[in-house]
Amino acid sequence: RRAGIGGRAGVGRRAGAAFHSDISELILCQNEVDLALRNLHTWMKDEPAAKNLITQLDSAFIRKEPFGLVLILSPWNYPLNLSLVPLVGALAAGNCVVLKPSEMSKCTERVLAEVLPGYLDQSCFAVVLGGPEKTGRLLEHAFDYIFFMGSPRVGKIVMTAAAKHLTPVTLELGGKNPCYVDDNCDPQTVANRVAFFRYFNTGQTCVAPDYVLCSPEMQARLVPALQSAITRFYGDDPQSSPDLGRIINEKHFQRLRDLLSCGRVVIGGQSDESDLYIAPTVLVDVQETEPVMQEEIFGPILPIVNVRSLDQAIDFINRREKPLALYAFSKSSQVVNQMLDRTSSGNFAGNEGFTYLTLTSLPFSGVGKSGMGRYHGKFSFDTFSHHRACLLSHSGLEMLNNIRYPPYSDCRQKLLTWALGSHSCTLL
């Protein structure tokens, strides 16, 4: 907490971007540290377990133990948050950690390697720098736990490597996050919220709304409202706005610029390769088979896909891979709850964006191809802890155990069945 990493990493060098960085990078990390410091003593305690009749005189509890040596592979889009938040959980649980930050965030990678060793015991912590080759070499080793955040493509590589050593993993991956907008919504309210969360960090957020599902009638009202929101947030010339960042590198810039040819541009569409700038963009008349609907966008482009009903929207979502996040906007709680009940996603928000990430009381997780495992707050501590089942019995009182030994009479079988039949017992 005292390291002052943010300033040295050049976080938020653009004036407005500094506030976004304070929110997403520094404040959330500080919250995780504070929570762990306040509650670690409680988290570490043995957890009493319910007992059946046959174990009433025994001590049953769950002990949290560190796995051992943990490898954390963090991405570039929030290089501090996505390195330090899992690091807090892994260290709090008592593990030794090898942290491999993304080589694409050069400043943060360097500062993490320079600053953290001054605050953490180097006998249980190390930062490894390098590109994909170095990551591949790390994955050849037998770690006790691997935590990875990134693309599903690389996630498969990580899981394949982990399988060779039967190493447990947490994978926080990406995907295409749907955003359903009901006809009864106020279009400007929805536009403000969707635009803010879509273009936050220039759309380079794994839980950002990736596309909108709405009726043609709502689209006609939503598009001008989105234009109003974008102009309000970033001005008439978004490229000069201090609140709008840039694309991470030329490779991703070229990928995003190619996506601008999908559908029809109704807002934005401008780009500047020399500045790695892609304007906040909205696309309509998008076909399901076009690239913009086949891959995670991870940039400031928002396609709108037309559906005629809630049922059609749910069917559209359920025919695809389970997303990391799903958003539903409606004045009707019944509509929001139907979307929640009839779909599956790692995370869900009704009438809001990814504000749930600010709550350490909620787990962050993927499901299906959007990932596995969970973290944040105590969930991080639990993820990086082996929950060891413990039962301590007496060395004497052997007469009480005679009921379980053969031979079994009808009376003994009934008595033993009854003793094991407590609601607290599920398995002998």
Reduced to 3 states (helix: H, G, I; strand: E, B; else coil), residue 159 is helix
Report which of 36, 351, 70, 321 is spatially closest to residue 189, judged by C-alpha positions.
351
Helix axes 187-199 and 216-234, enclosed angle (nearest 10)? 60
Residue pair 264/285 in contact (Cβ under 8 Å)? The answer is yes
CA contacts within 13 A on the Cβ side of 406: 1
Measured between alpha carbons, how far apart are the two ends of the chain, in Å? 46
C-alpha–C-alpha distance, residues 84 and 99, integer Å: 9
User: Which of 96, 172, 179, 185 is an active site residue?
Assistant: 172
CA distance 83 to 109: 10
- Please give the helix or strand (H or E) that residue 148 lies within, else none: strand 145-149
Report how far apart, in Å, the C-alpha atoms of 40 and of each of 28, 89, 165, 169, 253 are: 18, 10, 30, 23, 43
Catalytic annotation, pick one of 206, 214, 262, 296: 206
Give CA–CA dist 297/201, Å, rounded.
13
Alpha-carbon span 129 to 16, nearest angstrom: 29
User: Checking DSSP bridges between strand 301-306 and strand 211-214, what pairing results, if any?
Assistant: parallel
50 Cβ neighbours under 8 A, 6+ residues apart = 60, 424
The answer to whether the CB of 352 falls within 8 A of the CB of 340 is: no
Q: Is-catalytic flag, 65?
A: no
> Has 109 been annotated as catalytic?
no
Number of H helices, E strands in the chain: 14, 20
Q: Which residues are catalytic?
A: 172, 206
